[in-house]
Amino acid sequence: MRFIADEGVDSQIVNKLREEEHDVLYVVEFDAGASDNDILNFANREDRILITRDKDFGELVFRMKKIHSGIILNRLFQFDSDKKAEIVTEVVNKYKEELFGSYTVIQPGRVRIKKIE
């Protein structure tokens, strides 16, 4: 699967997904400081699911009706980076195709997937 990870995403998540053969671009590696709008537009052009911990992307999608290929919001603050990477990778591998075009929230013990029409 193809992803773009926002710069606030732990590098362990990026590395773990890459180990699992996913194609992951990391904003820190090519465009640190890019605006949320630019990141979302890039994700759309590249048909990539955005991984973030920034709730502002929800504002862009729900209130401003911005088009997206899929967004995964990581709300796993209480875990260390390795545990976050494990959980996010498990969710990606379990839900795969359901993540496209959806707004997914990963919280401890809970995954919510909302398809955006």
From residue 59, alpha-carbon distances to 79, 90, 103 in Å are 25, 26, 11
Give 58-104 pLDDT, tens digit per residue. 777 777 777 778 999 999 999 999 999 999 999 999 999 999 999 99
Taking the mean position of all CA atoms in its chain, how far away is CA 46?
A: 14
* Beta carbons of 30 and 4 less than 8 angstroms apart: no
Domains of the chain, CATH where assigned: 2-115 (3.40.50)
Q: What is the pTM of this model?
A: 0.91
